[in-house]
A and B are shown apart, each in its own frame.
Chain A
């Protein structure tokens, strides 16, 4: 219990402290230190005694790995952010006043995501997801350019409506639970809801799930509710793009999956699978086509995030131990690889002084470390072996082929089309004659490359060899998901 309180308390405390620290260098390192403390506490959760269910907080096999993953990516992003913002200050795109705000919001955002993951209460989870939306909307508009304000406004309106629909769904879920659990807190507590889901009113449960899927699905970035995602990724600071893609989308998907577990536990409720399969396939096909026309490097990878969330939603929609296993693995691999890509892209945009793909060529000759990191990252995200994304995508396609061959075809086509688009762009970005650097461009400090290599190394190891205890544990969670 103590470890969990530290996990939630450190970001909250750090957000308060960082709001008052005017020196941005000090603030950046405090940000790293706070994130490191959170990560250590999150790692300690694996050995710590778990809180008794029925209170506000919950740690179980499912959320513990997402808590650890979130704390880990938050730590590496904080390290990357320290060097990223130093350069932004130098280029005078940010001021120290804005950075004070940025660091406080960064910790508030991480804290609210961890809260959403560990909440045992529907209301608490909803509040945490809303807080995460608010803090990121503020950070997306950090550069104060017209484009950034437009992106933040769109993000805010769309996710605001989404989150309001999710609240309506939460109320319907409470009503659905009343026949079994009566009034009061028991009917909004996960652990009791799951235990009694079989006796819920199935009709209300169905409609509640539709509202929740649309509401939280907006935040997952599932098509056709994805319109905010590319703008928010492209116009905000790059560390925020990394945590949006790598973490926030996972948290929203986690919320949807929790509700899906309730439906799965009720024999009379509608099967949630087809809805998720439909949205997943739509996201995959749409982003596959959109990837070809991107001219902005951050937008390119934002669409790739829609693609991968679509694949994960599809896998969970298929259900069953193998597809769920693939979905969980895919969420993890996507977080690691996509965050690494955004770290790389952040440095690239800084050395080239532009996010336009047309302005960036020949990276492997002009900046070998960055260029080859990008090559490795794109190869990984495109789903080539030996990286972990290949394993999870292969599992998704093969498990689908075994059960619904007709559905495996659009998935395979979508994956191939995305693969083609990414490699086409990669060839332009990484090879050929190198484009001129931005005036005053600097050498990228090695320390800030460490997070990239660490993420890619983890994805590589997962693609070659998954330790047996990890597999067993992923499988137990997959069974839990139904």
Chain B
């Protein structure tokens, strides 16, 4: 097949000028109106450089990234400006012209590799597809190139991994295969759309290192989209901070993280710090909750998800349970609540042994032990108003009705720093942070002694998550409620926990007060976890990879 020459012009590889992107929204009960998603953003990217796009959700960073492929997702329209790739405006290229560019000059790496691969085809077929489609390589050449890329991305068994199907490799590996897919047709530009956000910290570091090496060795340019400043600092040469579709600040990576010029950037850089004084376990006082030698498994399977787990929580304190996905930390929550009755062991709460199964527990036991979920969206009935959601526990446990109930709902809304104007809103009309606050209010309405927080901040933007953590700490001080805080994010743990349990494959590998758990010497797994948390420092990635004693579970 003839290899058509790509147009090569002088000047920057990608030059976006005064980009304006709009979408039409249909708010219920109002006339449809046009909202501006990206407003007058310009950027240039030289060959072989990496530009990080950063901002909270709704900042328009993905939309800008996709515009470099002349693509608008879900009814989004590019209404103004120019996108010059290799010196020509691809917005004017027409359907056929864009097809020649996509997959050839610019490739895309999506956030969820599991959803982006076709489960019915082998990995190799999907990796070489773009190169074959554009006729830039024969099948044999493309496969050879793909295997070289698999090796470079340190995938296990690079010669044969292409014969597997997407479900036969782990999430971190799949993300690297997708990077290989993007690199295989030797494009000039790759758009990385949050490629590591859905991964565990220990896996994220591997993928990050692989992506960084691949970018360096192939000389491809990249737009790296993420909401995590610490991650983007590791891979990019320049960083662009966006907010509400507008440019906030654009500069070299060092300048952005060391000397941010804008207030918003400064807030992003300093977001993780919450001072939290550790409360020590009171002497001679019985713990509020003690989990005693709990073993549990799903169904009748012999695979034990929890193995002989014992932890204690004292009144008004926080126990953080950390670990990767699959470590059994959420299962521990299910065992404590009785949703998954443990097969061995017992749960002692406030001096009495709780029945293993939830349906045998008294209403008062249920009331004193509340739960907050990771995905606030699905934790609230979309057809109930905020007042119903928060008011139901009041009716159910305390038999409060009418005006009395409404007054208490207003109080609770005040406590979560939302006004009583929110009472008759539906969940779909709230932002992510507000939804989680309503869930907190619902748990609080039951006047519990213990709240189980299952990854409550994982789905939120850093600034919003920060607000939620502060709120939780404040509420703990006011109501003297204890938290069982499940998370994979050690930065969160540092700011909220009094005691920590580190879980690995269903077992507690390290347990004690925050200061003892976080003081060396560490066991290998705790060290891996700690060293994998991205730090906002240049060169952190290389240092962390260099000092590892243990491979992460993804390999």
| A and B assemble together | no
B: residues with CB less than 8 A from A are none
